[in-house]
Amino acid sequence: MDELKKRIREEGIVIDSDILKVDQFLNHQIDPVLMQHVGEAFAEAFVQSSITKVLTIESSGIAPALMTGLKLGVPVLFARKKKPLTLNTSILTTQVYSYTKKVHNSIFLEKAMINSEDRVLIIDDFLANGEAAMGLVRLIEMAGASVEGIGIVIEKSFQEGRSKLDRAGYAVYSLARISSLADHQVTFIDND
């Protein structure tokens, strides 16, 4: 997605050769028009998959997921990282390992929100090691629903996540694929 790559090039800040800061439009301040275009791109990519629900994880996945759900005309569900007081009915939960923080965290969904008829599209802001995406896959499979695809705004292709999801057989569609963040430069896989 050229518009997204341009914003990454112009506003992204490379931190530590493996972390990209995009707080101007995705992770802190959110650009609604860019997110609308992101949602349109995901909807176009998965329009043939008869999606019934979009699933993401709080917090930065919510904006792109919401715009995708709006365009596809389906509800958007987000996994919680803390069990809220109101989530005291039947829940689905799994552990997600964070490579950046070196800890396991539980994520939660209310069971009633998803059922075996659902055809689910996972959306997330970043794909690094794929742990969050695989956690969402497990929650969907616990509900007996199907994973129809995974849409990622920014994929760091030099980390494990993409190959992990490919090996597991999921259809991954990333709008910007970064092959390297070395020397404080963002290099995209298709080199444009």
Binders in 148-187 for ligand G4P, by CB under 6 A? 156, 161
Q: List alpha helices for 50-154, DSSP H.
A: 62-72, 131-142
- Residue 131 marked as a ligand binder: yes
> Which position among 17, 95, 100, 115 is part of the footprint of ligand G4P (CB under 6 A)?
100
Q: Alpha-carbon Rg of the chain, whole angstroms?
A: 16
Closest contact distance (angstroms) between CB of 60 and ligand G4P is: 3
Residue 46 CA to residue 85 CA, distance in Å, equals 34
Cα separations in angstroms, 151 against 13, 21, 68, 103, 170: 23, 20, 10, 25, 10
With respect to ligand G4P, which residue has the nearer C-beta, 88 or 102?
102
Binders in 2-61 for ligand G4P, by CB under 6 A? 19-22, 27, 59-61
- Residue 27 marked as a ligand binder: yes
Looking at 34-42, 67-75, 95-103, 145-153, which segment touches ligand G4P (CB under 6 A)? 95-103
With respect to ligand G4P, which residue has the nearer C-beta, 25 or 126?
126
Residue 180 CA to residue 9 CA, distance in Å, equals 13
With respect to ligand G4P, which residue has the nearer C-beta, 58 or 117?
58
With respect to ligand G4P, which residue has the nearer C-beta, 100 or 163?
100
Sheet (strand 172-180) strand order: 76-79, 53-57, 119-127, 146-156, 172-180, 187-188
DSSP bridge partners of 27 = none
- Residue 128 marked as a ligand binder: yes
Binders in 115-134 for ligand G4P, by CB under 6 A? 125-132
Closest contact distance (angstroms) between CB of 169 and ligand G4P is: 18
Q: How many residues bind ligand G4P (CB under 6 A)?
A: 21
**Furthest-apart CA pair in the chain: how many Å?**
49
Listed as own residue / partner, the contacts of 83-89 with beta carbons closer than 8 Å and 24 or more positions apart are: 83/108
Question: What interhelical angle do 2-11 and 32-46 show, nearest 10?
Answer: 140
Interface with ligand G4P (CB under 6 A): 19-22, 27, 59-61, 98-100, 125-132, 156, 161
- Residues comprising the binding site for 5-phospho-alpha-D-ribose 1-diphosphate? 128-132
- Residues comprising the binding site? 20, 27, 128-132, 156
